[in-house]
């Protein structure tokens, strides 16, 4: 949070009040236990009791909540008319109880040229991304994170669209949320997405997707070969239809009792990056 006050005369005000008259800003932070840099040093020296506290990966194979909440914190800072300016520095993340918060906010957006304000906001997100990449570099093999990290470099029509694509990225969803989201796109924007899927160069690698049926799990193969409804074509839009139908009917065709985690894993193993790419064009 921040406060700002301005008066025409000091009227015997204190030094702090005089500073506010001059237009100085006062930023208030929660008391914190350690910076992220200090916490990592203590972790390395085995001086941390809760070693799992700031794990990057949650049990459901998505980014832990406190890292996801950092995206919302950045959005909040921008909504207050501020920017951070140095989120690639560990000392600017602080540990407050069970939370990770941002520290050392850089300044006011209105102090920048109009054309620089959008760039500074995007820079905040990209520097946060760079911090995550460094933390993941040696400890975690996590191919699914690649599409999420690339999303930070995508160009969108507006800041709001950029934030929406980050906050709702498939990488941040649980397996159930992820599969439901992709299946929902088939319902919500089928005609708008079909053309982008079938004519976009990035989706060419998903052409002729049924030819790899010999690698499919039984429940996928039964969904593909069912005689109910029209047969599947070879186009990427037909792959989206197939994924939607598998989500609806996988229990019917499963003999091994596969759950939604098995379905999500199968989708992301056979069609690497498809979820992320559909998310960007939707």
| Beta-carbon-side half-sphere exposure of residue 275 (alpha carbons within 13 Å) | 30
CA distance 102 to 135: 16
Burial of 228 (0-12, 13-18, 19+ CB in 10 A): exposed
Strands 34-35 and 93-96: antiparallel
Q: Which two tokens stand for residue 64?
A: 């832990």
Confidence category of residue 254, pLDDT binned at 50, 70, 90: confident
Query: What kind of architecture, by CATH, is found in domain 31-172?
Result: Orthogonal Bundle (1.10)
Provide the mean pLDDT of the chain: 83
- Residue ranges of the alpha helices (H) in 59-189? 65-79, 114-136, 145-151, 159-167, 175-188
DSSP 211: G
Look at residue 73 in the predicted model and tell me its pLDDT. 93
Summary count for the chain: helices (H), strands (E)? 12, 7
Domain extents for the chain? Answer: 1-28, 31-172, 175-281
Distances (CA, A) of 236 to 17, 195, 203: 63, 10, 7
Other beta carbons less than 10 A from residue 245's beta carbon = 18
Look at residue 250 in the predicted model and tell me its pLDDT. 86
DSSP 29: -
Q: Which residues pair with 83 in a beta bridge?
A: 107
CATH for 175-281 is 1.20.1440.180
Lowest mean pLDDT among 67-81, 228-242, 249-263: 249-263
């Amino acid at each position: 949070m921040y406060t700002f006050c301005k008066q025409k005369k000091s009227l015997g005000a204190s030094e702090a009040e005089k500073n506010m008259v001059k237009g100085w800003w006062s930023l208030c932070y929660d008391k914190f236990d350690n910076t992220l840099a200090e916490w990592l040093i203590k972790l390395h020296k085995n001086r941390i009791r809760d070693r799992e506290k700031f794990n990057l990966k949650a049990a459901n194979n998505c980014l832990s909540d406190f890292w996801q909440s950092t995206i919302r914190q950045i959005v909040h800072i921008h909504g207050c008319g501020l920017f951070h300016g140095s989120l690639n520095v560990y000392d600017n993340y602080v540990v407050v109880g069970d939370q990770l918060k941002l520290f050392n906010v850089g300044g006011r957006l209105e102090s920048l040229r109009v054309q620089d304000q959008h760039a500074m906001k995007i820079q905040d997100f990209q520097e946060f991304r760079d911090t995550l990449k460094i933390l993941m570099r040696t400890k975690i093999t996590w191919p699914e994170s690649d599409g999420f990290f690339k999303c930070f470099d995508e160009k969108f029509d507006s800041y709001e669209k950029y934030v929406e694509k980050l906050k709702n990225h498939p990488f941040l969803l649980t397996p159930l949320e992820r599969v439901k989201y992709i299946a929902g796109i088939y319902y919500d924007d089928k005609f708008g997405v079909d053309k982008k899927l079938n004519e976009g160069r990035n989706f060419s690698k998903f052409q002729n997707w049924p030819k790899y049926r010999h690698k499919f799990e039984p429940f996928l193969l039964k969904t593909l070969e069912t005689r109910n409804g029209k047969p599947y074509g070879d186009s990427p839009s037909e792959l989206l239809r197939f994924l939607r139908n598998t989500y609806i009917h996988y229990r019917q065709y499963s003999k091994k009792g596969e759950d939604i985690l098995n379905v999500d894993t199968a989708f992301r193993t056979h069609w690497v990056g498809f979820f992320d790419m559909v998310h960007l064009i939707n």
